[in-house]
Structures are given as structure tokens and as C-alpha cells.
Amino acid sequence: MAAAVALPDPGRFAYLKAKDVARLAEAYRFSEAAHAGQTRQSGDPYISHPLAVAEILAGWHLDGQTLMAALLHDVTEDTKVTKDEISDTFGRPVAELVDGVSKLDRIEFQSAEDAQAENFRKMLLAMARDVRVILIKLADRLHNMRTLGAVAPAKRRRVARETMEIYAPIANRLGLNTLYHELQELAFSHLYPLRYKVLAKATAAARGNRREMIGRTLAAVKRKLTESGIPATVQGREKHVYSTYRKMIEKHLSFSEVHDIFGCRVVVSDVPSCYLALGALHALYKPIPGKFKDYIAIPKANGYQSIHTDLIGPHGVPLEIQIRTEQMHRLAESGVASHWMYKDETDKLSELQKQTHQWLQSLLEIQHQSGDPHEFLEHVKVDLFPDEVYVFTPKGKILSLPRGATAVDFAYAVHTDIGNRCVAAKVNGELVPLRAELRNGDRVEIITASHAKPNPGWLQYVRTGKARSTIRHFLKTMQYEESAGLGERLLEQALKSLKSSAAEVDDASWERVVRDSGARSKEELLADLGLGKRLPAVVARRLLKHADPAREDAGAGSVTIRGTEGMAVQLATCCRPIPGDAIVGSIKKGQGLVVHDSDCAASLRSRKNEPEQWIDVEWDPRTTRLFQAAIGVTVENQRGVLAKVASEIADAGSNIDSISMGEDRAVFTTMNFVLEVANRQHLARVMRALRRLPDVKKLSRIRE
């Protein structure tokens, strides 16, 4: 028994103080006793897993608390040990770390996807409080991936996909480069075992065929650096199998067409030597235009720094070279874990810690705005996208954004208020659409307006999690407020049918109805009415509990529509009603009030099948906004006819929102316009003007 208790390979924990090693041994004994009789699917004693996780973390020189939490990370999940017991025995910090890593298996979820999303949300929020949580989780995932061959194929693929989509990108975001590549390789080998075997075999064969050339290339690089008086360590670096596979997929190449499967890493003493080495190597081999990246001047978001250059090596074979300092090399391999491994390296590491902290804080902000675990997972996955573009603010500050990010993403990256109020953008001094994608080196300026607010259409093209979650949060809040306003008007109509009004309802009645309905406030109850989640007539009767049913009057009036209610009131796109049209309204759950033309075929069918959903509505005569109306114009197909029609529409005071052309254009063609008009009379003026054109043969309003 004593042999089983002793920690193997004590050299791994030699960096710890003696008292920490003693506490670690105590945690090991506690975990071994808790997991007694349990085995892994491979047949090994279960304690072998937490011990392996602790050893991985010891390789990163994590502190004693983290290693104890690693040894205990499964006890609350798989045994009867509680968080309080761990707290009493090993201290609250260790218990919090264990709790952050543990899954939520004891809570009932609707599906495996719900459980995954909620587990991920809980883990990232715990990580935002203490980054050691994610380091334990990543070490846990690494050992599970190394031993994944013992589990069933279906689970193997699920775990491998989760690793590829979530855990490997997190490792990359934290700068844990070695871990990132190992997780990718392991996940790829389990997701596509045959592809992995074929590519690994082809890579080994190519390495053998090029061994002599690779040796000569490395020797030439070392010789050139020595001649230039630059002390350096030169290492050969073979590309990972998954990197080769991804390049083949993205660029539609065969393996034989992927030439740069071999690279070279040059490690020098200081930053000036990096640029001196670059000059020397460019003199040795010709650089490939457009294949140079300076991550020293502009570091990646995860703190990574290096110079990357692609050269034409011997026999025309491309050669990728990375040039960095020793400190940059440590940071590139260990990322945020360098904080524990190399505590004497203060300046750059403190900058990395600051960047990591900012990212973790942004996760808390996204969580606050999202609420829903699936939505949170979606936003964070977007932020873990590995490719980046670097752009400049007007003051010269560099911002890192995902590839494909737009001016709106940039605005939200600067500040939430800038994003919410942006109306236009300038890139390199020229006005561009807000949806314009940004490129490396762009200088971006955002133009704001105090009255502006987020547009739902932005969600179609923003790329960052912060922008997406902030826009959704704003729209939800706005919809809530607008729905509450609509709900108030619907309730007023229902009260009129009972020959009463909202002014006659006392506060006690409101409090009773709000409490009985389960709503948190009067505003929430009104918003539910506006969103169609509750029936106004039922709420009205409850407010007037002593009202006589005989007081009901079905003709108590209509709800007045201005068209400016926002998302709470939607104008149906099937019939596009405008002021002057007879209209009806449908209350749909989650959508609020949808307004149709009273002759609309879709509304006629629904009113027959679901009459309880429909209410009387009418236009407010004071409405001032423009509305969309569709018309079909059949004209003689000749040169310049579109310009004539567009000119008449403009002269009649209308804008063209969109236009589509009919397919048959032999003699006559039909042009379908969506116009902006103030009301039915305005549309009639536009149509009269078009009828005066001799080229117009037929004209009608499109209702469906």
C-alpha cells in the first residue's frame, strides 16, 4: 500500500517546496481512497488519470494548489466527496478550482448539447475568475485524448470533435502552442484515422527522401548566421500532419503539391539579432513575395512573437523560417503557463497576463448579455477563430480582430457605446459600408451619431462574439420595452370591452395579478401581452375581478398603429399594408403584433382557422414614416425604359427600395418594384405618374 501512495517520478515536483510536496502526497492519498475500486475503460486504476493530469501540470511548473486540484478534480463528480469536504481538508482555493473543472452531471438537462453548452459556460466563467481552472481542464483533456483509444468509437469521435472545436482553440488563445498542436493531432487521428495514417506515412516518406537536402539546408543556414556574427540555435521543424491536411483542404492541393512540410526555427539572443538574422537569410535564399509576417512588431492576441518568412530553398523547394528570441520561444511554447515556468521574465509576461485577463473579462461581459448557454457557446466559438487581422485606430493603437471582421466589429472592439451609435466608417480615409471586411494594416475611423442604435441586419455579418452578443442584448432590451408599450395598448382595448380602463385599476389589483401570473413585474406582464405570450382579455378580467361579464362589449374599439413601434409591431411582408389600407392584427407568440391587409389571403385563411388570435387595428392618422409597397410594371422592352420609370418614381416623391426583372424579355418585360411611400394616396400618385408613360402597358399593386 505504501508503494501505491508514493508519488512517482519525484523529480517532476522538485521545483515545489517540501511542505507543498507533503500536501500533494496527502491529496494523492485522499484521491486514491475516494476512487478506490474504480477503473478507467482501459482497465487501469482510475487514480492513474488524475496523477497523469498533475504530472502534465507539473511540467508547466504550476503551483501546489493547482496540482492538488488536479489530483482531486474528479472526486466530486465520480464519488460521494463534496466540495465542502475538499474545502475543509485542502482549503477553499483548491475546492474552487475543483468545482470550476467539475461537470454538472447532477443537473437534469434536455439534451447532451444543453449539458455541453452549460458545462462549457460554467468552466469559462470559473476560468475568468482563475485561469488555473482552464489549465487543469486542458491537461485533463490532453490525457483523455492520449488514452482515447480505449473508449467506444462514437464517443471517441464526439470527444475528438469537441477537442478540435473548443479545447484546441482555447489552448491556442492562451498561447499554449505545444499543447495546441498535440490536441489537434490527436483529435485529427481519432476523427479521421485513415486520412491521418495515410498522411503520416506520406510525411515520413517525404522526410526520408529529403533527409540529405534538409541536412544541407540547415548546415547552410547555420554557416550563414555564423559568418554574419549572429550567435543562434537552428532547429529543423517539420509541419504537423493536421497542418498539412488543413492546407490541402483549404487550397485544394494534393500531398505532392504541399512543398513546405519542412521548416526551420532560428533562436537568437535579442530583438535586434532577429532582424539581423532575417537580413542574412534573405541574402542566402530569395524570399517569396507576400510571405513575410512580423509578429514581433505586432504580436498575436495570445502574445506570440516571431518573424515568419518563406524562402526559396535548394532545388526550388519552399522553406519556412521562424526567427525569435529565447524568451519569445518560451512564450510561444508555453503561453500563459510561462507565468509559472519563468517567473523572472516579468515585462512581456505581465503584458500577456494583461491580454489574457482582458479576454477573460470579455467572456464575463458576453455571458451577462447572452444568458442562454447555447448562445454563449456560439459567441465564444467565434472569438476562438484562429486567423486574425491587425488594424489601427486613428490614434495608431493596434487592435486584433478575427479574419472577416467588419467595421462594426471594430467599433464594438473600441467601446460598446461606439458600436451602438456607429452610422458609418472610414477605412484608410475613404468611406466604406459598415459591412466592409477589414484587412491587415487598415486604419479605421468610426463615425457615430447620438440618435443611432444597433441594426438587426448587423447580425448577418459581424464576426466577434462581443459585437454579436451586445447587438442581441440591445435588441432584446429594445423589443422588451416596445412590447411592453404594445401590451399596454392591447390591455387598454381589452379593458374597454369590459367598459373599464387602466386608470380604474388600483395598485393592489395589479400586485395580485402580477404575483398570480408568475411575472416579476408589471412591465414583464405587459411585455408578455405584447409578445403574445398572454391573452389581454384574460388579464383584463383578472384585473377587474368583480366585473360583471355582461359589461363586455365586443365593439369597444381598435388598437391604433403608428408604424413606428419598432419590433413590437411587424408589417406582414406577404401583403405589405400601408396607411389607408383596411388592416387586421394577429397576436403571435414571441412575435408580438403582426399587421396584415384585411384582404390578404394568408390572413383570411388564418382568421378562419384561428379567430382568437386576431384583433381589430387601425392606422393612426398622424403617422409620418415611410412604408414599403410593391408594384408590377409591364413595359416595352427597349433601351432606357428603366431610367424613364425610375425618374417618374423619383419625381413623384418616392424611393426605390429594390427591383427585380421578369425572365421573359422578348417584347415586353415586367419590372417588380418595392417602393417607399407615405400612404395609399401617395402610392396612387406614383402609379398615376407611371401610367402617363407611353412605354408602360400594364401596372398593378402586388399584394402577395
Q: Quick check: is 243 in a domain?
A: yes
Q: How many domains does the chain have?
A: 6
Examine the residue annotation and report whether 55 is marked as an active-site residue of this protein: no
The string over 551-564, giving b where at least 16 C-beta atoms fall within 10 Å of a residue's C-beta and e elsewhere, is: eeeeebebbebebe
Whether residue 497 is predicted with pLDDT greater than 60 in this model: the reply is: yes
Q: Quick check: is 598 in a domain?
A: yes
Residues 213 and 277 in one domain: yes
Q: Quick check: is 362 in a domain?
A: no
Q: What is the dihedral of CA 403, 406, 412, 413, to 10 degrees?
A: 30
pLDDT for residue 374: 64
Confidence tier at 354 by pLDDT (50, 70, 90): low
Which CATH number is 649's domain given?
A: 3.30.70.260
**Can you tell me the distance from the alpha carbon of 41 to that of 165, in angstroms, rounded to the nearest whole number?**
24
pLDDT for residue 186: 94
Look-up of cell digits 492562451: 174
Q: For the range 458-463, what are the long-range contacts, defined as Cβ-Cβ under 8 Å and sequence gap of 24 or more?
A: 458/408, 458/434, 461/406, 461/408, 461/435, 462/405, 462/406, 462/408, 462/409, 462/412, 463/382, 463/385, 463/401, 463/402, 463/403, 463/404, 463/405, 463/406, 463/409
Residues 13 and 134 in one domain: yes
pLDDT for residue 371: 61
Whether residue 364 is predicted with pLDDT greater than 90 in this model: the reply is: no
Q: Quick check: is 127 in a domain?
A: yes
Percent of the chain with pLDDT over 70: 82
Which CATH number is 225's domain given?
A: 3.30.460.10
Which CATH number is 27's domain given?
A: 1.10.3210.10
Check 20, 26, 63, 78 and give the catalytic one. 78
Can you give the residue range of the structural domain that contains 222?
A: 206-345
Residues 125 and 252 in one domain: no
**Can you tell me the distance from the alpha carbon of 10 to that of 5, in angstroms, rounded to the nearest whole number?**
12
| Cα three-residue angle 104-105-106, rounded to 5 degrees | 95
Final residue belonging to a domain, choices 132, 157, 191: 191
58-88 confidence digits (pLDDT tens): 888 888 899 999 999 888 888 888 888 899 9
423-450: average pLDDT:
89
pLDDT for residue 36: 87
Q: Quick check: is 356 in a domain?
A: no
pLDDT for residue 556: 47
Q: Quick check: is 695 in a domain?
A: yes
482-506: average pLDDT:
80
CB 314 within 8 A of CB 216: yes
Which CATH number is 452's domain given?
A: 3.10.20.30
Q: Quick check: is 359 in a domain?
A: no
Residues 579 and 681 in one domain: no
Residues 152 and 49 in one domain: yes
Residues 48 and 165 in one domain: yes
Q: Which of 401-405, 480-484, 677-681 has the highest mean pLDDT?
A: 677-681
Confidence tier at 499 by pLDDT (50, 70, 90): confident
31-51: average pLDDT:
88
CB 132 within 8 A of CB 67: no
More confident residue, 701 or 303: 701
The single-letter code of the amino acid at 142 is: L
Mean pLDDT of the chain: 81
Q: 431 burial class (0-12, 13-18, 19+ CB within 10 angstroms)?
A: exposed
pLDDT for residue 592: 66
Residues 307 and 271 in one domain: yes
Residues 616 and 641 in one domain: no
Final residue belonging to a domain, choices 311, 345, 379: 345
Examine the residue annotation and report whether 32 is marked as an active-site residue of this protein: no
Final residue belonging to a domain, choices 590, 606, 623: 623
Residues 131 and 245 in one domain: no
Look-up of cell digits 524568451: 327
Residues 675 and 570 in one domain: no
**Three cell numbers written together for 28:** 494523492
Residues 526 and 601 in one domain: no
- Report the greatest alpha carbon distance in the chain: 105
389-400 confidence digits (pLDDT tens): 788 888 888 787
Check 20, 77, 85, 676 and give the catalytic one. 77
Whether residue 144 is predicted with pLDDT greater than 70 in this model: the reply is: yes
Residues 36 and 177 in one domain: yes
Q: pTM to 2 decimals? A: 0.60
Confidence tier at 140 by pLDDT (50, 70, 90): very high
Q: Quick check: is 371 in a domain?
A: no
Alpha-carbon Rg for the chain, nearest whole angstrom, is: 33
Sort strands 583-588 and 430-432 into parallel, antiparallel or unpaired: unpaired
pLDDT for residue 108: 47
Confidence tier at 342 by pLDDT (50, 70, 90): low
